[in-house]
Copies of this chain bind each other. A is one copy, B any other.
Amino acid sequence: MKSFRKELWFEIPRRRQLTNITDEVSKCLRASGVREGLCLVNAMHITASVFINDDESGLHHDYEVWLEKLAPEKPHSQYHHNGAEDNADAHLKRTIMGREVVVAITAGALDLGPWEQIFYGEFDGMRRKRVLVKIIGE
């Protein structure tokens, strides 16, 4: 069994942004040499997400509006976590979007459906944060 590990680092210049990382994950897969296996991609921070959906700007606008409706940022005073911090909403938004994806590896490629793209979802940016790519297989 082979294994491969890499951290992808990000410093998003705003509080919230969705970034397509499919190509970077594919590069990890090629570097791993794995042909059949599983690829775990997870946020290493608890106010960010890795998820799979469509790379379409209208939909990304809809996500922003929808997440603000379900877990609004302000007023900060509505959250107890904000005793010390102002990012409780980012923990909740990431909970909806999910921490991780597991992607099948088949014949040396990410085994994705026709519109599946992997995203890094930042909900508390303007600092250096990272994503873990872990690949196991043969």
Contacts and interface: CB of A to CB of B under 8 A. Distances in A.
A96 interface: yes
Given A71-B66, A111-B5, A134 B104 contact: yes
A111 B36 CA distance: 22
A113 interface: yes
This chain: copies in complex: 3
A43 B113 CA distance: 8
A45 to B, nearest CB: 6
A126 interface: no
Interface residues of A, number: 58
Tell me whether chain A's interface is mostly helix, strand or loop, or mixed.
mixed
Nearest to A131: B113
**Which 6 A-B residue pairings sit nearest by Cβ, starting from the closest?**
A44-B113, A104-B134, A58-B80, A3-B36, A59-B81, A58-B81
Interface of A: 1, 3, 5, 36-38, 40, 42-46, 51-54, 56-59, 61-63, 66, 70-71, 79-84, 88, 91-92, 95-104, 106, 111-116, 130, 132, 134, 136-138
26 contacts: A1-B138, A3-B37, A3-B138, A5-B106, A5-B111, A37-B136, A38-B38, A38-B40, A38-B136, A42-B104, A44-B113, A44-B114, A45-B113, A45-B115, A45-B116, A46-B53, A51-B99, A58-B81, A59-B91, A61-B80, A61-B81, A70-B70, A95-B97, A98-B98, A100-B102, A113-B132
